[in-house]
Amino acid sequence: MIDLHTHSNRSDGSDPPERIPELAHAVGCTAVALTDHDRLDGVQAARCRGGELGIELVGGCEVSCDTAYGTLHLLAYFVEEDGGPLHTALERLQQWRSERNARLAARLAQLGLPVTLEEMEAEAGGVGVGRPHVAAILVRKGVVSSIQEAFEEWLADGRPAHVERPRLGLVEAVRLVRASGGVPVVAHPLSLRLEPSRLDEAVQEMAEEGVAGLEAVYGRYPPAERAMLSALARRHDLVVTGGSDYHGTYKPDLQVGIGRGDLTVPAEVLSDLDARRPARA
């Protein structure tokens, strides 16, 4: 089995990159992807540790995109890691994220919430600051009782401490991923919150735009949703992919490889994705 969706402390996970292959190996995975938000700089350390353990480390990242249907998270696998068009765009996304974080800190101050930019950076370990870090500080200071509550009360889209940041459009993101030798996959598709018929339409459009897979077997989806999304993916000739979305202590219900205990993503998914790599120019 494999896990195609995990985060390290280079973004908003709590574990260092090297720990991801260790955890995956311990539960019996033969491959694991590291997919930090907007960055690839944990991949090398994780791959090196994976090599020692004899587990394949798939390089990747997760990028938030604008679509006609709302914000979508796009997973990118096998992309060039040291250069190339996606790498350049990721630097821009990191800049936008850091500008958002400064505005977010100002908003939190306005709201009287006790979280400074310095505390956010300390919580994140310096890089990859995101909303889960703010949520963890609010929990620690007793303002809310869980990360989930921090989102529901303050940080989720539409809540008082939500601060927008610019995103890539989906078409542009897909183009960048493919131009960097990568394979784009739609993460946790139910986050779009579309009615079944609209979701079908949206997925058809995404497939036409060059998306290669759909994350149907997602750590937090129950069996019926995984089955529905797997059928949807197959209808549109997309690879049925899966992963835990492990974030360590920031999503304490999820473990690498097994999610909440009922996740199994077969190893063949990785070869199916590999077969969708763009032809070399």
The residues of the shown chain that bind Fe ion, judged by CB under 5 A, are: 62, 73, 187, 245
- 21 vs 219, beta carbon nearer Fe ion: 219
- If one asks whether residue 12 binds Zn ion (CB under 5 A), the answer comes out as yes
**Residue whose tokens read 């974080």:** 101
The tokens of 79 are what? 């992309």
Q: Is 265 exposed, middle or buried (0-12, 13-18, 19+ CB in 10 A)?
A: buried
Nearest position to Zn ion, beta carbon: 12
- 103 vs 234, beta carbon nearer ligand AMP: 103
Nearest position to Fe ion, beta carbon: 73
Choice from 156, 227, 231, 267 touching ligand AMP (CB under 6 A):
156
Q: Which stretch binds Zn ion (CB under 5 A): 10-18, 22-30, 63-71, 200-208?
A: 10-18
The interface partner of residue 73, options being Zn ion, Fe ion, ligand AMP, none and the CB cut-off 5 to 8 Å by kind, is Fe ion
* Nearest residue to 35 (alpha-carbon basis) of 66, 2, 65, 3: 3
- 4 vs 55, beta carbon nearer ligand AMP: 4
- Contact criterion met (CB below 8 Å) for 39 and 12: no
- If one asks whether residue 36 binds Zn ion (CB under 5 A), the answer comes out as no
Residue 183's contacts (CB-CB under 8 Å, 6 or more residues apart) are 76, 77, 78, 177, 212, 213, 273, 274, 276, 277, 278
CA–CA dist 218, 241 (Å, integer) = 8
Q: Which stretch binds Zn ion (CB under 5 A): 3-11, 157-165, 188-196, 265-273?
A: 3-11
- 37 vs 39, beta carbon nearer ligand AMP: 37
The interface partner of residue 148, options being ligand AMP, Zn ion, Fe ion, none and the CB cut-off 5 to 8 Å by kind, is ligand AMP
- What are the φ and ψ backbone dihedral angles of 33, each rounded to 5 degrees? -100, 140
Amino acid 114 reads P
**Residue whose tokens read 């497939």:** 207
- 213 vs 248, beta carbon nearer Zn ion: 248
Q: Which residues lie near ligand AMP (CB under 6 A)?
A: 12, 37, 130-132, 148, 151, 156
